[in-house]
Amino acid sequence: MPSMQALVRALAATAICVALPAGAADTSRAAQAMTTAARALAEATPQAQRVQLLQPLTLEARSDWHYTPRSRGGIALKDMGAAQRQASQRLLAAALSEPGLVKVRAVIALEIALREIETFGFSRDPENYAFAIFGSPDAGPWGWRIEGHHLSLHFTLASGQVASSLPQFLGANPATVPRDVRNGPRKGQRALGDEEDRAYALLAALSAPLRQRAVFSAQPFGDIVTRNADQLSPLEPAGIAFGEMDTAAQALLLRIVEAFASVAEPSIAQQRLERVRAGGLATLRFGWAGSQERGQPHYWRIQGAGFLIEWDNSGGNHVHSVWRDFAGDWGRDVLGDHYRRARGTPHRHN
């Protein structure tokens, strides 16, 4: 029987291979499914509502995003008819993996928990999540978004492929449901538990000296550092480098990245992981801030040459998480020429 150390090495090597597949991802099937669903949503939308649903394909319009309750463009679920709802759910399902769809629905369902837990919970509404289409799925590049409290997902399509699936914001309040809720999440449920468990596993796998260096701040920052910025530059290097970790810790770090990527439909997740690999694994860094005890305020991030993943739990039971691409959010790097033309002459499709 192999030793435990040998098993750990084998699992680590396997995880690296699985998390970072070779070859260019073909996202055409996902792109076609999204295009068909978006057309159905537009066709099911009454003419009077189309001005809300169909937004201009400009960086200014697309990068106007947030994860807090606010007034936002698009059509909320509560304002949709049956055919619109059906099409919107097909659009969401085309973009996400099955586990990702479960995760997103769990985030939305937390609004029901907040209704009971908060003294002002009447304002929480699981129907207040809006879909918006940018450009036209019938011609040229286009994109779409679903957004509401603790959820902001963005997809850009061009030339029959998914050009971008970022930013990706998912939050959870409460991160762990403290009590049973009528018609909603039950006590102990964790919408983002997988990501949290993998980060703690990585922290525990580090040697004491390396863990000490990984913790770059005694306090978290009250939120993700980048908030809802419209464009990012890399943050100052913090924590420890990928090359300083042993093989088992490296595999655990990649499993965190994989957990974030796997929210998306499998070919889109593969596309993201290929970008991570293209930037070079040697560029990856992992940093932690705040308490190392579960349930206490903390923050961590993974940064590579081209991307940033942030996780904030500054209140101990209220999570914000985001994946950003420095050059490719909303397809900037792929659709730059189109966006530059559109910036001068924004056009709203009806």
How confident is the model over 318-329, as pLDDT tens digits?
A: 999 999 999 999
Residue ranges making up the domain that contains 93: 15-344
Environment class of 229 (CB within 10 Å of its CB; exposed 0-12, middle 13-18, buried 19+): middle
Is residue 308 a part of any domain in this protein? yes
C-alpha–C-alpha distance, residues 66 and 226, integer Å? 12
Is residue 135 a part of any domain in this protein? yes
Mean pLDDT for 297-302 is 98
Q: CB of 215 within 8 A of CB of 292?
A: yes
Tens of pLDDT, residues 103-125:
999 999 999 999 989 977 778 99
CA end-to-end span of the chain: 67
Tens of pLDDT, residues 227-244:
999 999 999 999 999 999
349, pLDDT greater than 90: no
What local confidence, expressed as pLDDT, does residue 346 receive? 47
Considering only residues 123 and 269, tell me which one the structure prediction assigns the higher pLDDT: 269
Is residue 7 a part of any domain in this protein? no
What local confidence, expressed as pLDDT, does residue 183 receive? 83
What local confidence, expressed as pLDDT, does residue 344 receive? 64
15, pLDDT greater than 60: no
307, pLDDT greater than 50: yes
305, pLDDT greater than 90: yes
What local confidence, expressed as pLDDT, does residue 338 receive? 83
Confidence of residue 74 (pLDDT cuts 50, 70, 90): very high
**What's the whole-number average pLDDT of the chain?**
91
Is residue 350 a part of any domain in this protein? no
Three-class secondary structure assignment of the chain: CCCHHHHHHHHHHHHHHHHCCCCCCCCHHHHHHHHHHHHHHHHHCCHHHHHHHEECCCHHHHCCCCCCCCCCCCEEHHHCCHHHHHHHHHHHHHHECHHHHHHHHHHHHHHHHHHHHCCCHHHCCCCCCEEEEEEECCEEEEEEEEEECCEEEEEEEECCEEEECCCEEEEECCCCCCCCCCCCCCCCCCCCHHHHHHHHHHHHHCCHHHHHHHEEECCCCCCCCCCCCCCCCCCCCCCEEHHHCCHHHHHHHHHHHHHHHCCECHHHHHHHHHHHHHCCHHHCEEEEEECCCCCCCEEEEEECCCEEEEEEECCCCCEEEEEEECCCHHHHHHHHHHHHHHHHCCCCCC
Query: pLDDT over 90 for what percent of the chain?
Result: 84
Q: CB of 127 within 8 A of CB of 76?
A: yes
Is residue 112 a part of any domain in this protein? yes
Give Cβ neighbours of residue 229 (< 8 Å, ≥ 6 apart).
Answer: none
Mean pLDDT for 52-72 is 96
Confidence of residue 21 (pLDDT cuts 50, 70, 90): very low
What local confidence, expressed as pLDDT, does residue 51 receive? 96
Tens of pLDDT, residues 218-227:
999 999 999 9
C-alpha–C-alpha distance, residues 92 and 238, integer Å? 35
Confidence of residue 40 (pLDDT cuts 50, 70, 90): very high
What local confidence, expressed as pLDDT, does residue 182 receive? 85
Two structure tokens written together for 206 = 């580090």
Is residue 10 a part of any domain in this protein? no
Is residue 249 a part of any domain in this protein? yes
Mean pLDDT for 28-36 is 98
Read off the pTM: 0.92
C-alpha–C-alpha distance, residues 216 and 247, integer Å? 22
C-alpha–C-alpha distance, residues 247 and 264, integer Å? 26
Mean pLDDT for 87-93 is 98
Is residue 115 a part of any domain in this protein? yes
Total domain count, the chain: 1
C-alpha–C-alpha distance, residues 349 and 144, integer Å? 13
